[in-house]
Structure 1
Amino acid sequence: MPPFEGSESDKEKELEKLHAPAESTDINKKVVTHSGWKSWKDHIPYAIVTVSLVEIVFYIVSNNNLQKLLRFEPNKLHEIWRFVTYMLLHDDWIHLALNVFMQVLFAYFLEIRHGTVRILVLYLSGGVTAVLGASCFHPDLVIGASGGVYALLISHVADVMMNFESLNNKVYRCFCVVVIVISDTTYSVVHIFSKDEPIISWGAHVVGGISGLFLGLVFFKREEYLARVRKLSLFWLGLILYVVLLISLVVLTQQIKKCTPSNLIKTKYVYFC
């Protein structure tokens, strides 16, 4: 009988090893780390939440004088703070609520993977580049954080491009990006043709999204096992394209300023003179 008792004890030990919780926990942690789907309580996107709170405060306390001081105006390009501060202002509470909700949602899946600083820099840089685009293609006053929101949204494409093998739910992420872009584009087209106020700055949306794609290739982390050539190729591709975009917008903005009288700049642009 002793041999039989000993073999049964060994079987129990083997079963305990097979069902050890430590191994299961490690596997789950690995899956969650790569997919980015963790409890929101542990991964609040602090940078964008902080920015959103500041935008809410500015909406509450802002008046006409403050708006005139902070909004982007195409004939006041020398006041460089306007390239950032316009993002703090919103037309009404619906405009504010939509931007705050969307930017926090988009940042949630990015900050837990790439860090607070990277996402904040991408958001602000996308906003600056977006309003440059608005100044080139849409001659009017600009307020709102939509350029930064679009930078965050389209940067998800860059994240998928660089970490395709390790990302879970990448198909759903791409599908959601496409649906949001199509929905917003449809709304913008209908809004423009109906000539409703306020006018949507489609130039800021488009350029903000493009800059988000390029900056995502520059700032986002890459999986360690990816080939070094691929890492460097994506980095330099994003950096070169963004620099070309930025320089082109700056040159075009200066050309418009040179050729267009200040009293006409909100009505039409003259690109060549």
Structure 2
Amino acid sequence: MTQREETQVQMESLSRPDWRAVFDRFDLDHDGEVPLLEFRRYLSDPQLRSRIPDHVLDEILARADTNIDGSLSFQEFLDMVQSQGLGPEGGSLFRTFLVRAANSVVPKSKRSRRYLDQYSCCPPPVFMVLVSVVELVLFIVDGVRMGGVTASGPVDTESVLIYSSRRRAEAWRFLSYMFVHVGYVHITTNLVVQLLVGLPLELVHRWWRVAIVYLCGVLAGSLGTSVFDPKVFLAGASGGVYAILAAHLADLIMNWAEMELAILRLIFLLVLVSTDVGVAVYGRYSGAPESTVSYTAHLAGALAGVLIGNVVLRNLRVHRWERVVWWASLVAFLALVLCAVVVNVAAPDGFYPEQEI
């Protein structure tokens, strides 16, 4: 007996309870139905596609949905499996693939591809909470040490944590400036925004991915400021906050098809970011008290968030063009960081001007 004949015998030996078990592997939310769109996505096996054209497969699914509700009940699934519309060989191939998909593709993820279904508190979102607590504690310590705080100060320019382009040889400052904040308005804004936008991101993408995005944003903020806006001292976690904000854009790029209300998410994100950047740019050049806000750190952090977000965040369904975006984002981020590091290392004496705060 040939392998094809053995496979056909095996498929024909499956009883109704056996097919029910197969159906239950596809029915991930256990509501007794499998959405056609979700079912269609599982059918990506090259062997199946080479033997059964896409239009034939679509016709099979459409015909199986007898009540035209966009989902397959178990009875509709069973009728589809037992249909001879593909002929003996094609029907056997189709049934073989269904079993293979149920026993390999579906269990590998063990969850739906809908974005909302990816939210989980296991593991808990610890990074944003932890970094926010550390920033708040150090802000309080600085306030006590300096005799109090106001809405916009005071600022300790001699702090070992604040970033200064003239002290760029002290490499820890490229990250440690995130723990220094200028007044209670500054830290309150950063903490509120990073918790609001960071925690939901952690619930889907896990804490360590968000930590990478956040820290890359902080690093990009100091490197960008050191190259393009070296006159200012740099304090605050705005580079990391903007990286988290922009990472939502990367998330939208990768998971648009799986994300509910994606267009509303995009509009909200663009309004929030453009408003804050506009306020920062206006404040810098209007002579307002916050005139030394480094919007360069905001923009550099946002750029890092988009690029590194495309690299490290979860992509629920990878398309071919997204692989190109992945590599392009990684290469672009590394190239920009390398260029900024070279400028900082190779800059001659006198290249950096006196600073202001």
Normalising TM by the smaller chain, what interval? Answer: 0.7 to 0.9
One-letter amino acid of the structure 2 residue matched with residue 110 of structure 1: L
Alignment of 1:132-211 (within 5 A): 132-139=223-230, 140-198=232-290, 199-211=292-304
1:35–1:169 Cα contact (<8 Å) kept? no
By how many angstroms is 1:26 displaced?
A: 9.9
2:175–2:218 Cα contact (<8 Å) kept? yes
1:111–1:119 Cα contact (<8 Å) kept? yes
Q: Structure 1 vs Structure 2: percent identity of aligned residues?
A: 28
By how many angstroms is 1:32 displaced?
A: 9.3
2:213–2:244 Cα contact (<8 Å) kept? yes
Aligned equivalent of 2:205: 114
One-letter amino acid of the structure 1 residue matched with residue 206 of structure 2: G
Aligned equivalent of 1:240: 331
**Whole-angstrom distance in 1 between the partners of 2:222 and 2:299:** 10
Number of positions where the alignment pairs a residue of Structure 1 with one of Structure 2: 241
1:36–1:112 Cα contact (<8 Å) kept? no
**Whole-angstrom distance in 2 between the partners of 1:67 and 1:54:** 20
1:32–1:38 Cα contact (<8 Å) kept? no
Aligned equivalent of 2:60: none
Which of 165, 173, 180 pairs up with 1:74? 165
Q: What stretches of structure 1 of length at least 5 have no aligned partner? A: 1-20, 268-273
Q: Deviations over 1:108-133 (max 9, x none)?
A: 22112211101011101110111110
Cα RMSD after superposing both structures: 2.8
Q: Deviations over 1:204-223 (max 9, x none)?
A: 01110001000011101112
**Whole-angstrom distance in 2 between the partners of 1:25 and 1:116:** 33
Which of 113, 116, 123 pairs up with 1:35? 116
Instruction: Rate the CA distance shift 1:77–1:168 in 2: closer, same or farther, 3 A.
Output: same
Instruction: Give the number of the structure whose alpha-carbon radius of gyration is greater.
Output: 2
**Whole-angstrom distance in 1 between the partners of 2:219 and 2:211:** 12
Instruction: Rate the CA distance shift 1:56–1:32 in 2: closer, same or farther, 3 A.
Output: farther
One-letter amino acid of the structure 2 residue matched with residue 258 of structure 1: P
TM-score normalised according to structure 2 size? 0.61
By how many angstroms is 1:241 displaced?
A: 0.8
Aligned structure 1 segments of 4 or more residues deviating by more than 6 angstroms = 24-27, 29-32
1:67–1:89 Cα contact (<8 Å) kept? no
Which of 311, 330, 347 pairs up with 1:218? 311
TM-score normalised according to structure 1 size? 0.79
1:45–1:104 Cα contact (<8 Å) kept? no
Aligned equivalent of 2:355: 266
**Whole-angstrom distance in 1 between the partners of 2:119 and 2:271:** 24
Structure having the larger proportion of residues in helix: 1
Instruction: Rate the CA distance shift 1:44–1:200 in 2: closer, same or farther, 3 A.
Output: farther
**Whole-angstrom distance in 2 between the partners of 1:121 and 1:188:** 25
User: Could you say which structure has the greater relative contact order, defined with CA pairs below 8 angstroms and 6 or more residues apart?
Assistant: 1
2:111–2:117 Cα contact (<8 Å) kept? no
